Structure 1
Amino acid sequence: MPALDQALRAALNNRHDLLVELHQQGTDCYRLFHGSQEGANGLTIDRYGPQLLVQTFHQPLNRNELLAAHELICAHLNQPLRLVYNDRSQGNSRIDRNDPIYPAEPAALEDLVGHEWGLNYRVRGRHAGQDPLLFLDLRNARGWVKQHSTGKSVLNLFAYTCGVGLSAAAGGAREVLNLDFAEGNLSVGKENAELNSQLAPMAFLQADYFAAIRQLAGLPIVARKRQNLPNYPRLQARQFDVVFLDPPAWAKSAFGTVDLLRDYQSLLKPAILTTAESGVLICCNNLAKVALADWREQVLRCAEKLGRPVRDCQVMPPAADFPSSDGQPPLKTLILQF
């Protein structure tokens, strides 16, 4: 416990200037302890507005360690944060919902509201899915979208809970389309839209990525071997000024396979074709085993082969609350200007 206490104090001190900046910009959702880089591998501690979410992925904390960390953070922030502890050290990172170490108080598990870049977001410490409803390491990219969407049409692919779409709407986009296969993800996205009712309405499309993006790109839809195509929404080919591509590491459907390690091109090609001339494509890869330089070269080569060479390529790193000792964080984001 003394070692964890020391590591946590160092992490909080290292974030002093960043937290001041985040609070000034209207953000109270951020990572307070990134264990893999700060002395406790498999432990993450995140603030989501009024909630403190502690998660363990390799081995659980004991109750004294957990409560001591909670007390230290609340004192440091001068905030009485509601504690939720998810032990995910079981198989397949499943949350141990029996809570043998610390059962959260009912108030901590209520629907709460966190904030980022002045926007409101739904916060749930526990929900049907595995991951938090807002991926904090993508905050810089959402901020970029907010700053560069005025008057633009924006397509948010693998939209999850639609944080990128919400950022685009807040930035003055004239049109925002959020696309995701999971109805539950889009339902939270609609809650986020309701929590920011002052913004222009967004559109939501529940559809398989390959079925939707290939139609938008004007490409044929092909079934995987020996599979019949299920029903899917019919779409007209068109392009968007800003396209955001943030796929999961791996997924399979009747229309195709998402595989960031072996076949990023099948995701990227139609996304490029759906990006307007002089438009912007923001693409992400969250696999730690993929090197930024190699992936960047692959992306630029794919664009070149399509006859859509990139005029400018900017790397958008996560913010300082996701430190990386080797400068190679798992999440890699490229902003491609065509």
Structure 2
Amino acid sequence: MQALLSAIAQMDNTTDAHRVFHGRGGLYPGCEHWTLDWYAPVWVLTSFKPVSEDELALCHQALAQRWASLAPGVPLNWVFQCRAQGEAQTRLMAGSVPEPHVVTEQGAQYLVHVLRGQNHGLFLDMANGRAWLKQHALHENVLNLFAYTCAFSVVALQGGAAQVVNLDMSQGALAVGQQNHRLNELPAKARFLGHDIFKTWGKINKMGPYGVIVIDPPSYQKGSFIATKDYIKLIRRLPDLLEPQGHVLLCLNAPELDTAFLHAQVAEAAPGLRFVERLANPAPFADIDPEKSLKVLHYQKT
């Protein structure tokens, strides 16, 4: 775990939420199960396999030493989460977590909840996707599918979107999304639909067409969405939903599915879409095999 300890020794005290160490990318042999994130003012250390109390003690020592240098006299706050199958747990290891817990990213504020569940309310690897949308949203009608806590909607409205339609099956996630909009004092130009996307096409069509569509689904969620069989159903709808020259971001975070999977689906179901670029992931999320990391593909209707 030396690479993790070295990263801790070199980390900075910055304002925005971000990933500090990404062992999951395979660039640090022996540390593939570790990640460390900064959700100010809390460090969140995650392991994807069981670890010993001795290892956690070493991490605590490293965090305490670095934090004493970065913020003398300020209490250290850190949380440990284990995501090993059958041994999932979340523990407050030192200090406290604010309630409500609000973090910042690129001029936006978001509510997060690092002590509840595996998803904290803001996916840090999607930072560049949010930055892209903020730059492309001016005057656009934006459709945000699988909206979760509506971070894409927040940046779209910050970028001057005419309207954003957020759709997600989770009413709880959308409720947090509405709080995020209030937190950022955004105009009332967003709609929040807590529906099954596959049963809502009539309503979605009625509020279109859209200048920008973001599709960021779970890769595998039984009873909701399975990428290998359901993604093509979404892509098939895009030509009718998009305005002429409209943009779409197709997102996929499944290590077993590569960019060729999405390209093939678009070629089959929406050949009128032109591939523009793959957005780079944030630098801390570097991966030894980019095809196993988050894929965010930008297409445009011709």
Instruction: Give the letter aligned to residue 49 of structure 1.
Output: A
Matched, 1:65 2:32: no
Contact 2:143-2:165 at 8 Å conserved across structures: yes
Aligned match of 1:321: 284
1:115 alignment partner, one of 101, 104, 110: 104
Matched, 1:46 2:37: yes
Quote the offset at 1:276 in angstroms.
1.7
Structure 1 CA distance, aligned partners of 2:6 and 2:118? 28
Matched, 1:185 2:173: yes
Instruction: Give the letter aligned to residue 328 of structure 1.
Output: E
Cα root mean square deviation, aligned:
2.6
2:199 alignment partner, one of 198, 202, 211: 211
Structure 2 CA distance, aligned partners of 1:5 and 1:73? 15
Structure 2 CA distance, aligned partners of 1:11 and 1:333? 29
Aligned match of 1:227: none
Structure 2 CA distance, aligned partners of 1:242 and 1:46? 30
Instruction: Give the letter aligned to residue 82 of structure 1.
Output: N
Structure 2 CA distance, aligned partners of 1:124 and 1:86? 12
Matched, 1:285 2:252: yes
Matched, 1:261 2:228: yes
SS of the residue 1:314 aligns to: strand
Instruction: Give the letter aligned to residue 298 of structure 2.
Output: I
Deviations 1:124-150 (A, max 9, x none): 2122x4311100111100000011101
Aligned match of 1:276: 243
Structure 1 CA distance, aligned partners of 2:69 and 2:170? 38
Number of residue equivalences: 294
Structure 1 CA distance, aligned partners of 2:236 and 2:160? 28
Structure 1 CA distance, aligned partners of 2:188 and 2:159? 10
Change in 2 beyond 3 A, CA 1:61/1:275: farther
Aligned match of 2:145: 157
Instruction: Give the letter aligned to residue 273 of structure 1.
Output: D
Instruction: Give the letter aligned to residue 65 of structure 1.
Output: L
Aligned match of 2:80: 85
Change in 2 beyond 3 A, CA 1:258/1:321: same
Change in 2 beyond 3 A, CA 1:35/1:252: closer
Instruction: Give the letter aligned to residue 145 of structure 1.
Output: L
Aligned match of 1:9: 6
Change in 2 beyond 3 A, CA 1:32/1:197: same
Structure 2 CA distance, aligned partners of 1:187 and 1:274? 26
Quote the offset at 1:199 in angstroms.
4.5
Q: Which runs of 5+ in 1 are unaligned?
A: 218-235
Pairs within 5 Å for 1:123-138: 123-127=112-116, 129-138=117-126
Aligned match of 2:212: 242
Aligned match of 2:273: 310
Deviations 1:218-257 (A, max 9, x none): xxxxxxxxxxxxxxxxxx363211110001112354xxx5
Quote the offset at 1:184 in angstroms.
0.9
Structure 2 CA distance, aligned partners of 1:65 and 1:124? 25
Contact 1:50-1:113 at 8 Å conserved across structures: no
Structure 1 CA distance, aligned partners of 2:38 and 2:7? 17
SS of the residue 1:122 aligns to: strand
User: Which consecutive segments of 4 or more residues in structure 1 shift more than 3 A?
Assistant: 5-8, 10-13, 75-81, 102-105, 198-201
Change in 2 beyond 3 A, CA 1:77/1:291: farther
Instruction: Give the letter aligned to residue 64 of structure 2.
Output: E
Quote the offset at 1:209 in angstroms.
1.1
Aligned match of 2:67: 74
Quote the offset at 1:43 in angstroms.
1.4
SS of the residue 1:160 aligns to: coil
Instruction: Give the letter aligned to residue 301 of structure 1.
Output: E
The TM-score normalised by the length of structure 2 is 0.87
1:194 alignment partner, one of 178, 182, 191: 182
| Range that drifts further, 76-85 or 175-184 | 76-85
Quote the offset at 1:298 in angstroms.
2.6
Change in 2 beyond 3 A, CA 1:156/1:198: closer
Change in 2 beyond 3 A, CA 1:64/1:42: same
Change in 2 beyond 3 A, CA 1:198/1:314: same
Q: Identity rate of aligned residues, in percent?
A: 31
Aligned match of 1:175: 163
SS of the residue 1:321 aligns to: helix
